[in-house]
Structure 1
Amino acid sequence: MQTPVLENQIVKLIPLTIDNYTHLNEIAAEDKLIQYSPSDISTPEKFLAYVAEALKGEKAGKTMPFIIYDKRSESYAGCTRFGLIDPVNKVLHIGWTWIGKKFQGTGLNKEVKYLMLKYAFEVLEFHKIEFRVDERNLRSRKAVEKIGGKLEGILRENVIMTDGFRRNTCCFGILKSEWPIIKNSVFGQKGS
């Protein structure tokens, strides 16, 4: 599967490449931007390694990484990805999402998730979309719940963070059968 360009009037998701990731260098360096992630993007070298890992997954058919471009401000806002893509069982994860602090709370993330859910369910025809969130990350947990994600369980101490802390991970899911209701009630039956 090739990573597509996804867009609407507010946001454009552009395939992440080794040639364009530097648009995000300034945002990646923001303090505590991904404090609930086991990844580290705090230096240019660590950010490059993060990108290389995402592109390695893309080459293996396991990820589709994107740069998030905010059309309203005409600026690059962050990064997201489809991951753990399982074409046999038709399940994938949406995650690895981070956006700059000035874009948080603007509705941009909701637009990103809409485009990704629509593509995964309506184009790829996947059966289930999953989200994994650090139990301590209340903001992200609430955001996933707002777009219709249902808490399916908590994996205890399953991920080691960069500081050695073992986090608990909340597992959320949305089924394809739930998508039409979510699309209408959460996203208001948006076009394209």
Structure 2
Amino acid sequence: MKAPTLENSRVKLSLLDLTNYQHLESIAQEKDLIFYSPSDISTPEKLRAYVEVAVDGYYHKTIIPFIIYDKEKAAYAGSTRFGLINWKNKVLHIGWTWIGHSFQGTKLNTNMKFLMLQYAFETLEFEKVEFRIDERNAKSRRAVEKLGAVLEGVLRNDTLMKDGYRRSTCCYGILKNEWPDIKTKLMSILN
């Protein structure tokens, strides 16, 4: 599997691996950056372990991890990925997304998600894209709802967090037949 480079005038998503993750070390240490995630990227060692898991998933064809480069700010901004890729059923998840605080609210995330959705539906020809978000994470939930994703249900107490809390996870989805209308809407608000 060859990782795509997804790019528009605002953002470039390229394969995250052990040769480039160091660009993210200072961002990964920002306070509460991934508060709602069960992952820990707070030290260079923990960030490397996080990337190693992503790279392993890439070689097993279940993950495509990306490093995010913000062209407007000419800086690396964070990471995102396709995960839990189910090639047989043509379903994948978009998530594990974190971008530095200074990149949030700048439409960078909308541009990234547009490129990822476009690739999933138009190149991979997948039938469904899912997003899984901590029930408490109102900001991320609003962001995927603005994309046009539909709340399909809540998995109660399904994920153990770093601090021992058991979170409930909101499951959102976009179907392939919904993509054309969503694409039109997103294209009108990009950049």
Q: TM-score, normalised by structure 1?
A: 0.97
Compute the displacement of 1:2 (Å): 1.9
Equivalent runs, 1:6-25 vs 2, <5 Å: 6-25=6-25
Deviation track 1:61-87 (CA, whole Å, cap 9, x = no partner) reads: 000000000000100000000000001
2:23 alignment partner AA:
H
1:62 matches 2:62? yes
Structure 2: 5+ residue stretches without partners? none
Equivalent runs, 1:69-80 vs 2, <5 Å: 69-80=69-80
Secondary structure, counterpart of 1:4 in structure 2 = coil
| In structure 2, C-alpha distance between the alignment counterparts of 1:83 and 1:120, rounded to whole Å | 11
What residue in structure 2 maps to residue 117 of structure 1?
117
What residue in structure 2 maps to residue 129 of structure 1?
129
Q: How many residues align?
A: 190
CA contact (8 A) 2:114 2:186 kept: no
2:162 alignment partner AA:
T
Compute the displacement of 1:187 (Å): 2.6
1:22 alignment partner AA:
Q
Deviation track 1:128-178 (CA, whole Å, cap 9, x = no partner) reads: 000000000000000000001000000000000000000000000000000
What's the Cα RMSD here? 1.0
Give the percent of matched residue pairs that are identical in Structure 1 and Structure 2.
Answer: 61
1:181 matches 2:175? no
Equivalent runs, 1:43-62 vs 2, <5 Å: 43-62=43-62
Structure 1: 5+ residue stretches without partners? none
Compute the displacement of 1:126 (Å): 0.2
What residue in structure 1 maps to residue 145 of structure 2?
145
What residue in structure 1 maps to residue 171 of structure 2?
171
| In structure 2, C-alpha distance between the alignment counterparts of 1:138 and 1:189, rounded to whole Å | 21
1:188 alignment partner AA:
S
Secondary structure, counterpart of 1:186 in structure 2 = helix
What residue in structure 2 maps to residue 158 of structure 1?
158
CA contact (8 A) 1:148 1:186 kept: no
